């Protein structure tokens, strides 16, 4: 097993909350992490029809079997169980009693908000981060291989080709999660939406254009996009506009959360073709944003990432708050530093002034150095200040 950075957050929350919730996309390693972090707890999968039927028919007796707590996998499959779980943990007053895992945010979070408010410590687990892979010498040798393969654990646990694994992953996702979360009559139409989103990763979200390309209304596109968010396939990066006037773009940007899945959906079938592919820049930017999200999720924090763009096109790729100021991150897929890379952050610094920290530029090369007031970091060693800041109100 590749050690997961989220383990520390999970164990920390187990000291303060009676229930832990470990959520994330299918095949991101939630079950493996839960069992490794809590090896003494019995494991129950509610995907098992017998266990699910028992939990739904007699939830009190189902839970009373676990005197020392348990790991309940895919608990959104038996949402009524959460109300009974509240009664049990309130009576036992024991921290780290139950660990819940789930792949569908809508059902699980709605149930927790209603039944377990104030009792749940939550960690969101995405596929492997570059830091986790590097820690066991499993980081791909080239950037193109990293972008092609992505970071889902099965692709590192065994000798699987991305071109073999991703088709089955998408088919399973469509048949299971999509049908559970929303009534879609034509799954091929939904799959077209998924592919159109992959082609737009890193771009401003235009629901009307997205719906038109898929033959659906903007309202339906919005609903289906929320399903992709709920199942951790995509995220929306919100624009930052605190204290900087109103002449700013207010539309979010769309990003895939695994670059390998994005590459497969774009029809990329080998790593070498990424070197000259038109989407190379978007793939690399998607990967960097995903690494930032993983860093925060692994620390048990919300993502709280933004971008900044004014109405004449000046843009900073990623922006986040720290106790020491605003940190900007520019992403460039080239392997050689170019002086025009600093133009966006120079424009940003004119506006933000002393509120901004020295910018970070993540690029497709190998080295790390200071250049023109920026910290330039190669893709292998990309790291970012971790302290969370305040939320933008």
Query: Can you give the pLDDT at residue 388?
Result: 41
Per domain, the residue ranges of the chain are 6-124, 130-237+256-279
Q: What is the pLDDT of residues 188-244, one digit of tens each?
A: 888 999 999 999 999 999 999 999 999 999 999 999 998 899 889 999 999 987 766
Is a pLDDT exceeding 50 seen at residue 39? yes
Is a pLDDT exceeding 70 seen at residue 389? no
Strand partners, 307: 239
Is a pLDDT exceeding 50 seen at residue 393? no
Beta carbons of 52 and 78 less than 8 angstroms apart: yes
To 10 degrees, what angle do helices 218-230 and 207-214 make?
A: 100
> Which architecture does CATH list for 6-124?
3-Layer(aba) Sandwich (3.40)
Beta carbons of 140 and 274 less than 8 angstroms apart: no
Higher per-residue pLDDT: 310 or 19:
19
Residue 64 CA to residue 358 CA, distance in Å, equals: 55
HSE (CB half, 13 Å, CA atoms) of 208? 1
Please provide the average confidence, as pLDDT, over all residues in the chain.
89
Query: Can you give the pLDDT at residue 187?
Result: 81
Nearest residue to 333 via CA among 289, 373, 372: 289
Beta carbons of 120 and 38 less than 8 angstroms apart: no
Q: What is the mean pLDDT of residues 163-185?
A: 82
Query: Can you give the pLDDT at residue 269?
Result: 95
Residue 8 CA to residue 11 CA, distance in Å, equals: 5
To 10 degrees, what angle do helices 105-115 and 81-92 make?
A: 40
Query: Can you give the pLDDT at residue 139?
Result: 95
Q: What is the mean pLDDT of residues 137-165?
A: 95
Q: What is the pLDDT of residues 333-360, one digit of tens each?
A: 999 999 899 988 888 888 888 888 999 9
Sheet holding 120-124, edge to edge: 43-45, 70-73, 98-102, 19-23, 120-124
Q: What is the pLDDT of residues 248-304, one digit of tens each?
A: 778 999 999 999 999 999 999 999 999 999 999 999 999 999 999 999 999 999 999
41: three-class secondary structure by DSSP:
coil
High-pLDDT (> 90) share of the chain, % = 69
pTM of the entire predicted model: 0.92
Phi, psi of 37 (to 5 degrees): -75, -30
Give the model's confidence band at 1: pLDDT under 50 very low, under 70 low, under 90 confident, else very high.
confident
Residues ≥6 apart with Cβ < 8 Å to 171? none
Higher per-residue pLDDT: 117 or 315:
315
Placement of tokens 């109103």 in the chain: 246
Nearest residue to 20 via CA among 7, 5, 2: 7
SS3 content of the chain, % helix, strand, coil (to 5): 45, 20, 35
Q: What is the pLDDT of residues 187-202, one digit of tens each?
A: 888 899 999 999 999 9
Query: Can you give the pLDDT at residue 244?
Result: 62
Q: What is the mean pLDDT of residues 161-178?
A: 88
Beta carbons of 109 and 185 less than 8 angstroms apart: no
Q: What is the mean pLDDT of residues 147-170?
A: 94
**Lowest-confidence pick of 63-67, 248-252, 263-267, 376-380:** 248-252
**Element holding 235 (H helix, E strand):** strand 234-239
Residue 312 CA to residue 94 CA, distance in Å, equals: 56
Give the model's confidence band at 185: pLDDT under 50 very low, under 70 low, under 90 confident, else very high.
confident
Q: What is the pLDDT of residues 71-93, one digit of tens each?
A: 999 888 888 888 899 999 999 99
Query: Can you give the pLDDT at residue 391?
Result: 37
Q: What is the pLDDT of residues 13-34, one digit of tens each?
A: 999 999 999 999 999 999 999 9
């Amino acid at each position: 097993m590749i050690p997961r950075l989220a383990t520390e957050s999970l164990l920390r929350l187990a000291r303060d909350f009676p229930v832990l919730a470990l959520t994330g996309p299918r095949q991101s390693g939630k079950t493996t992490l839960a069992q490794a972090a809590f090896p003494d707890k019995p494991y129950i999968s509610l995907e098992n029809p017998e266990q699910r039927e028992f939990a739904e028919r007699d939830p009190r007796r189902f839970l009373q079997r676990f005197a020392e707590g348990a790991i309940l996998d895919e608990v959104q499959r038996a949402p009524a169980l959460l109300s009974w779980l509240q009664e049990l943990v309130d009576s036992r007053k024991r921290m780290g009693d139950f660990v819940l895992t789930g792949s569908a945010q809508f059902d699980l979070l709605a149930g927790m908000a209603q039944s377990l408010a104030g009792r749940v410590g939550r960690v969101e687990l995405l596929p492997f981060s570059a830091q986790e892979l590097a820690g066991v010498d499993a980081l791909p040798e080239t950037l193109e291989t990293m972008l092609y393969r992505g970071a889902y654990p099965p692709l590192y646990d065994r000798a699987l080709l991305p071109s073999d694994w991703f088709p089955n992953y998408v088919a399973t996702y469509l048949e299971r999660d999509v049908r559970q979360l929303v009534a879609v009559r034509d799954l091929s139409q939904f799959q077209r939406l998924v592919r159109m989103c992959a082609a737009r990763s890193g771009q401003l979200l235009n629901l009307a254009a997205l719906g038109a390309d898929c033959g659906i209304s903007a309202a339906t596109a919005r609903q289906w996009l929320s399903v992709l968010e709920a199942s951790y396939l995509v995220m929306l990066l919100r624009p930052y506009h605190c204290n900087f006037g109103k002449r700013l773009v207010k539309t979010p940007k769309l990003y895939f959360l695994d670059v390998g899945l994005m590459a497969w959906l774009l029809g990329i079938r080998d790593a070498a073709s990424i070197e000259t592919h038109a989407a190379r820049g978007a793939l690399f930017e998607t990967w960097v944003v995903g690494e930032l999200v993983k860093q925060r999720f692994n620390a048990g924090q919300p993502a709280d990432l933004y971008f900044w763009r004014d109405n004449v096109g000046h843009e900073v790729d990623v922006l986040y708050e720290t106790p020491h100021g605003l940190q900007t991150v520019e992403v460039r897929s080239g392997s050689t530093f170019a002086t025009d890379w600093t133009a966006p952050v120079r424009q940003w610094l004119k506006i933000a002034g002393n509120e901004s920290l020295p910018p970070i530029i993540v690029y497709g090369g190998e080295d790390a150095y200071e250049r023109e007031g920026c910290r330039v970091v190669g893709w292998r060693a990309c790291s970012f200040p971790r302290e969370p800041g305040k939320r933008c109100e």
